[in-house]
Amino acid sequence: MAKLSDIFYIYTGSKLDFDKQIQDANGINFVSRNSNNNGVVGRIIPEEGAKIFKKGDISVPLGGSYLLSAFVQKEDFVTAQNVDVLRPKKDMSDIEKWFYCYILRYNRFKFSAFGREVNKYINDIEVPDEIPSWVYDMKLEFPQTRNESISEICTSDWLPFEISDIFFVKGTKTTSIMDLENYGEGKYPYVTTQAKNNGVESFYNYWTEEGNVLTIDSAVLGFCTYQEYNFSASDHVEKLVPKFKMNKYIALFLVTLINMECFRYSYGRKFNQQKIKDCVLKLPVSSDGNPDWDYMENFIKKMPYGDFFEQL
């Protein structure tokens, strides 16, 4: 893990009041603290001396209902009060930037739930220092605005399901590094309890577990990942074997929901097998009252990389 300030330059925003600006359809984007249209509320002729940020920078609201709802901006822009701007310290693709936007949203509960001010801690927010391989495999397109893709999500008619309703919860065979070194390096992931790089520490020519399952760290954070390929595992790695036909899109939908429960667990309150089985997820349902797997798959395929975590 790394601090956010290790990966990004962090700038204070323009601190402008939208209502006091000259609005012009041919002006520059004004980014406020909301979740619509990448945070853009209109176009203005910025006042003299206003800070103007670059296309590709990330806007981050520091307060309000959309705290840490980060967006990669598609054009040069200015910001409202209480919005910071991130700029990568090294070259980074859009998909990598959006990954960090999601990670920031994962951190919302640390501030919104406890009243802590983000601006005092934003530099020190912990984020992965490596991008998981599945991020690159998704090959998703990013729309110009959220409204060009799927509409806002309504979860009011979603129903609760225990994890044990949809998965068999099992342990994995513990394999030591010494044993793996005897087999040599290869193509099969070695999954550990680390909360980075999709839980994978390295690759060896050996596996004990079949892929297309979810794994959960039951020792520290309860971090959930999707393992597409056959793998081996360290101690305290539990696996969720689907009772339904799962693919990587459905898996990523469920991984997101499960990881939103991570804050409830720690080294002193482990996400053990029984707690995993009893964990309740609210899921979209089809007309027969069963989880709507087609909806989940299509949602991930069409996801606009805008309000995924905000809406769920």
Residues 15 and 61 in one domain: yes
Residues 91 and 165 in one domain: no
Instruction: Provide the domain count of the chain.
Output: 2
Mean of the per-residue pLDDT values of the chain: 83
Residues 170 and 256 in one domain: yes
Please check whether residue 201 lies inside any domain of the structure.
Answer: yes
pLDDT tens for each residue of 76-106: 999 999 999 999 999 999 889 988 998 888 7
pLDDT at 123 over 60: yes
State the residue range of the domain holding 254.
159-311
Helices (H), the chain: 4-7, 94-106, 108-112, 133-137, 163-166, 177-183, 248-259, 273-278, 293-302, 308-311
How confident is the model at residue 171, as a pLDDT? 95
Residues 6+ apart with CB under 8 A from 136: 95
Residues 165 and 306 in one domain: yes
Residues 110 and 167 in one domain: no
Please check whether residue 107 lies inside any domain of the structure.
Answer: yes
Among 18-22, 25-29, 154-158, 210-214, whose mean pLDDT is lowest? 154-158
Measured from the Cβ of residue 264, the count of other Cβ atoms closer than 10 Å reads 12
Please check whether residue 145 lies inside any domain of the structure.
Answer: no
pLDDT confidence bin for 204, thresholds 50/70/90: very high
Please check whether residue 140 lies inside any domain of the structure.
Answer: no
More confidently predicted of 264 and 127 = 127
* C-alpha to C-alpha distance for 10 and 195, rounded to whole angstroms: 24
How confident is the model at residue 109, as a pLDDT? 65
Please check whether residue 151 lies inside any domain of the structure.
Answer: no
Residues 125 and 231 in one domain: no
Q: What is the distance between the terminal CA atoms of the chain, rounded to a whole angstrom?
A: 25
How confident is the model at residue 192, as a pLDDT? 92
Phi, psi dihedrals of residue 234, rounded to the nearest 5°: -85, -175
Strands 280-283 and 159-162: antiparallel
Residues 182 and 223 in one domain: yes
pTM of the model: 0.53
How confident is the model at residue 265, as a pLDDT? 52
Please check whether residue 138 lies inside any domain of the structure.
Answer: no
Phi, psi dihedrals of residue 70, rounded to the nearest 5°: -80, 145
Residues 204 and 118 in one domain: no
Residues 6+ apart with CB under 8 A from 233: 172, 173, 174, 175, 190, 191, 192, 208, 209, 215, 239
pLDDT at 266 over 50: no
pLDDT at 252 over 80: yes
* C-alpha to C-alpha distance for 61 and 35, rounded to whole angstroms: 10
Phi, psi dihedrals of residue 45, rounded to the nearest 5°: -95, 105
Residue 194, beta-bridge partner list: none
* C-alpha to C-alpha distance for 87 and 40, rounded to whole angstroms: 18
